[in-house]
Each structure stands twice: as structure tokens, then as C-alpha cells.
């Protein structure tokens, strides 16, 4: 009897140890969903189209109507800026856009709305889209559905109180982190998630490399239907913007508003 009891005890301990060491695959956390995606793409080179074929999220972008590319058969460009905080360059960017008569979309956070209300008002007054970049710039895949909607509502209401802009239809997921649930909840809240097909590492305000660097990074990736992501904290971007616009136009490109984007390619 004692031996049988001992063997049962050993088996129970081994079974418990086995259960505690079983791990779910890295891309399948508890709940059966996938791990969050960090948006990325194969960059355009020499006019070729960029690609998200290998990134694993193409089908969910299509399913939820998110934007990666516009009409890649047309020489059209969509200029977008992320504005998490103000670093002194947005006014210059707005000056250039006004001079060149170029529409843009500015994705703003709660911090930006609170700290730079005059610039948010100017964006709206000069005909630009003021989009949602969330209130506190969180990883939204870690939030409940209700919290995601709260993040979006707070920005929309704050912008509306400043500018009178009642409708907000475009969202750039903060940090480029998302999953299918975030896209679904955002779409249910009335938003189109806007990603990008041209970008470079321009978000670190300490990394000042000069206008030529910014120019080369953007122009080297130029392609039809491009959605361009620039960060407004970059002095390089502000200094290079006018030349980028002029030389893109010289190549036959036209800058359009996201409201004019009718064809989405992936």
C-alpha cells in the first residue's frame, strides 16, 4: 500500500511539473489570438512598390480596410505626420504646406492637443486632416475594447472643442503596434487605420543628420500611391520638406488628401 501511494505521488508530481512547463507558441498567447504586430514593410527601391507580403498581417489589413498604399497605378502621394509632442518645427512645416498648397494629415495625441492647441487649430483652419494618434500613446493591444474606444474618444472630443471638427475618421495606431482586435474595435468606432509605405528613422529628435539626409531617405523610396510617414519633431524633415515636394512634383507626382484616397492596394 505504501509503495503504491508513493508511485501515485511521484506520478502526480511529474504530471504537475509537465503542465507547468508547457508553453504556448510565441505567436499564440492565451486566448488563441496572435501576438501583436509591429508594422513593417519591404521598402521601395528605384520606383519598385513596397511589400507587406512577408509580414503576416496583409489579410487583416485588407479585411478591416486599413490603408497601406493608395492607387499604385497613379503617381499620387499622401503626406502624413505623427505629432506626439511639439519640438518647434510644426509651424515651419505648416508654412511650407501652405506655400506649396499641399494637403496633409496630422495624427495627434492627447499631449499634443493639450500642449499645442494653437497648432492644432491652425492645422484644421488650413484644411489639413487632424487624425487620431490616441490619447496617451499606449500599446493598444494591451487595452480592453472599452479602453481603446476611450483613448480615441478623448482625442476626438478635445480636437472638436478646439477646432469645431466634429468628425474624426483616421487613426494611426500608436507605435505602429496592432492586432486584428485593435483594427476591428477601431473600425467599429468609425476609424480607418492608416499605416504607411514610406518612412525612415526620424523620430529621435537627438539624431539630427541634416536636410539632405531626410531628402534622400524620402526620395529614395518614392513610388506611386505612397503614404508618406514623417515625424514633425524632426528638424531634418522640416528643412527638407519644400524640396521634397518640389522634386516629387517635378517627377510627375501629385499630393492628395487621404479623403481623396479611393483605391487601396496591399
Instruction: Cell numbers for 139, please give them.
Output: 500599446
d(CA 19, CA 132): 44
Q: What angle do CA 172, 72, 190 make, to 5 degrees?
A: 30
d(CA 132, CA 153): 9
The one catalytic residue in 64, 133, 223, 231 is 231
Q: How far is CA 163 from CA 118, 130, 158, in A?
A: 10, 10, 9
Specify whether 231 is catalytic. yes
Name the H helices within 90-210: 90-100, 110-115, 117-125, 145-163, 180-188
Specify whether 223 is catalytic. no
User: Residue 119 CB: number of other CB atoms within 10 A?
Assistant: 19
d(CA 141, CA 11): 40
d(CA 114, CA 214): 29
d(CA 216, CA 100): 20
d(CA 136, CA 17): 41
Is 78 within 8 Å of 227 (Cβ atoms)?
Answer: yes
The one catalytic residue in 82, 202, 236, 239 is 82
Catalytic residues, by residue number, are 82, 231
Amino acid at each position: 500500500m505504501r509503495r503504491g501511494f508513493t508511485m501515485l505521488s511521484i506520478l502526480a508530481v511529474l504530471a504537475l511539473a509537465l503542465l507547468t512547463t508547457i508553453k504556448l507558441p510565441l505567436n499564440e498567447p492565451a486566448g488563441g489570438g496572435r501576438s501583436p504586430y509591429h508594422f513593417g514593410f519591404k521598402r521601395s527601391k528605384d520606383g519598385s512598390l513596397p511589400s507587406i507580403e512577408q509580414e503576416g498581417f496583409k489579410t487583416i489589413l485588407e479585411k478591416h480596410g486599413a490603408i497601406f498604399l493608395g492607387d499604385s497605378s497613379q503617381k499620387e502621394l499622401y503626406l502624413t505626420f505623427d505629432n506626439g509632442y511639439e519640438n518647434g518645427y510644426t509651424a515651419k512645416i505648416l508654412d511650407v504646406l501652405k506655400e506649396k498648397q499641399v494637403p496633409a494629415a496630422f495624427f495627434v495625441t492627447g499631449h499634443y492637443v493639450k500642449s499645442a492647441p494653437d497648432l492644432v487649430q491652425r492645422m484644421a483652419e488650413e484644411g489639413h486632416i487632424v487624425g487620431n494618434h490616441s490619447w496617451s500613446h499606449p500599446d493598444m493591444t494591451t487595452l480592453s475594447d472599452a479602453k481603446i474606444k476611450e483613448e480615441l474618444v478623448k482625442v476626438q472630443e478635445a480636437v472638436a472643442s478646439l477646432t469645431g471638427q466634429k468628425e474624426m475618421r483616421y487613426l494611426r495606431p500608436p507605435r505602429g503596434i496592432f492586432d486584428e482586435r485593435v483594427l476591428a474595435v477601431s473600425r467599429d468606432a468609425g476609424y480607418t487605420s492608416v499605416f504607411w509605405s514610406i518612412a525612415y528613422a526620424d523620430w529621435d529628435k537627438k539624431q539630427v543628420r541634416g536636410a539632405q539626409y531626410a531628402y534622400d531617405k524620402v526620395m529614395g523610396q518614392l513610388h506611386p500611391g505612397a503614404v508618406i510617414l514623417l515625424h514633425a519633431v524632426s528638424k531634418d524633415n522640416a528643412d527638407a520638406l519644400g524640396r521634397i515636394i518640389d522634386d516629387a512634383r517635378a517627377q510627375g507626382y501629385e499630393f492628395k488628401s487621404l479623403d481623396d484616397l479611393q483605391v487601396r492596394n496591399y
